Amino acid sequence: DADVTQTPRNRITKTGKRIMLECSQTKGHDRMYWYRQDPGLGLRLIYYSFDVKDINKGEISDGYSVSRQAQAKFSLSLESAIPNQTALYFCATSDFSPLSGSFYETQYFGPGTRLLVL
């Protein structure tokens, strides 16, 4: 979805380096997410944020940190990259819509960042 952009799209780095992946959205959503995907597997949640003051760990947060600089921007950092962090990384935003007294959620994903750690 063009409303969610990720930079860079591809990155090669070396073990021990600190790198940052950036995500921007123009959808006006408060909620943003970072996932990683390994070959042949589904997506796993790293971190998520409900708004600029709220950051939450996901299933696999070890070795990662995030920063929510503004409603539209959510960055993922690898403090000291290691080879098993080689993966495809996706950012997503979500929209809640009211339905029958509750809400249902739709997530919108960016195009992904392919990261290789040597």
Partner 1 sequence: DAKTTQPTSMDCAEGRAANLPCNHSTISGNEYVYWYRQIHSQGPQYIIHGLKNNETNEMASLIITEDRKSSTLILPHATLRDTAVYYCIVRVAYSGGGADGLTFGKGTHLIIQP
Among 21, 43, 78, 87, which residue interacts with partner 1 (rule: CB under 8 A)? Answer: 43
Phi, psi (degrees; rounded to nearest 5) at 91 = -100, 150
Q: Which is nearer to partner 1, 17 or 27 (CB)?
A: 27
| Cα 113 from Cα 115, distance rounded (Å) | 6
Does 29 interact with partner 1 (rule: CB under 8 A)?
A: no
Q: How far apart are CA 23 and CA 11, in angstroms?
A: 14
Of 11-19, 65-73, 76-84, 106-114, the window that binds partner 1 (rule: CB under 8 A) is 106-114
Smallest gap from Cβ 16 to partner 1, in A, equals: 27
β-strand pairing of 87-99 with 73-78: unpaired
Alpha-carbon span 5 to 25, nearest angstrom = 6
User: Which residues in this chain contact partner 1 in the complex, by CB under 8 A?
Assistant: 1, 4, 31, 33, 35, 40-45, 48, 50, 54, 56, 58-59, 88, 90, 92, 94, 96, 99, 101-112, 114
